[in-house]
Structure 1
């Protein structure tokens, strides 16, 4: 089992497991159409749907087996401003998938990049991952800032809200991460 020691502190954030007390903050961004529009199958959530989501995320505080998701809340003095997750995709290949969602009111200040950098550091430096990838065209700029390279563009590869959509795949290897590791700012 891999369970980080929480909270994880960066220059401006505390990263910690999600709790039911985070419901109001999480609902504040999960109810927004501009936030959920890129989430598979997601429509703006009701408060009850956000409660169910928060309860599910609250149980994602460690990797116990392949397929588990490690989910952390990114917290400032304003409360929970976003969520970062690392899904353990393959034990044999030491691979994980990075995902994140942040409240738009906190964009443009590097907070999502700071949080994702800390989570990548956990995966590579503490868990021993070989490769981390992300699959989200809407997050291409952030993944590039994290040092990830675009590996593929799968044209019209999945049905997204009734329309065919492209999928971009970004990835970074452990040795690339170590060569370019920067302290979260």
Structure 2
């Protein structure tokens, strides 16, 4: 079992905070081990997404208010299940573009899919978080998240995304983590700031979605900033 709150010691955080050396990604990384030994927070379990989670994922993937800010088209159930299976196939981080998606699971919540009965007793998938390789040469990784609206406003997104940031820095050792947001997505922007990330740029009219050109905001945090904030308790809960 992995406890994200104990990913590194205080001494290790201090060393990370002082370090600003060359790229040192711990690649390749295979997340398969986290299926049986997932990341755990106070209320959540984060484990690699599986095709069997498709019914739960569809419950939020089909909602217009969710996909409005994501590069996801509208999908019917069959297409959505195929999409989840495709996302679940990503397990190894080794090269640019590689990714792993983690299901955010809430214990005690019944799953939306009968096919999971007796298979997964951890709980319902209420969202997911993703880490993707942006640039191996310069040790840059990207994170992203999505949460079912019924579970928003309870701190689950902060808890899950925060665990992912801690795990990513302490286990994979990137120099930088970044996030790309639709600039209209105020909730995700606020979450980035709670995670200690800064808004670094806005790319004007980068994408054409839903009949209009949309701007993209870029948020980022460096390894030494994360380590210093975690060591001194400045990352807001």
Using structure 2 for the length normalisation, give the TM-score: 0.73
Of residues 181, 205, 223, the one that matches 1:156 is 205
RMSD between aligned residues: 1.7
Aligned to 2:137: 92
> Is the counterpart of residue 51 in structure 1 residue 81 in structure 2?
yes
Q: Give the unaligned 5+ runs of structure 2.
A: 1-27, 110-123
> Is the counterpart of residue 27 in structure 1 residue 33 in structure 2?
no
Aligned to 2:158: 113
Using structure 1 for the length normalisation, give the TM-score: 0.93
Of residues 71, 76, 85, the one that matches 2:101 is 71
Query: How far apart, in 1, do the equivalents of 2:65 and 2:167 lie?
Result: 29
Q: Give the unaligned 5+ runs of structure 1.
A: none
2:50, 2:84 within 8 Å by CA — same for their partners in 1? yes
CA displacement, residues 117-154 of structure 1 (integer Å, 9 cap, x when unaligned): 11111221111101111111212111111110000112
Q: Based on CA coordinates, which of the two structures has the bigger radius of gyration?
A: 2
Query: How far apart, in 2, do the equivalents of 1:81 and 1:184 lie?
Result: 23
Of 57-66 and 23-32, more deviation after overlay is shown by 57-66
**Higher RCO (C-alpha 8 Å, min separation 6):** 2
Residues 27 and 41 of structure 1, relative CA distance in 2, 3 Å threshold: closer
Query: How far apart, in 1, do the equivalents of 2:191 and 2:225 lie?
Result: 17
Query: How far apart, in 2, do the equivalents of 1:171 and 1:122 lie?
Result: 16
Query: How far apart, in 1, do the equivalents of 2:189 and 2:236 lie?
Result: 19
Number of aligned residues? 184
Query: How far apart, in 2, do the equivalents of 1:120 and 1:184 lie?
Result: 13
Q: CA offset at residue 175 of structure 1?
A: 0.6
Aligned to 1:168: 217
Residue 109 of structure 1 aligns to a residue whose secondary structure is: coil
Query: How far apart, in 2, do the equivalents of 1:153 and 1:58 lie?
Result: 30
Of residues 140, 164, 180, the one that matches 1:135 is 180
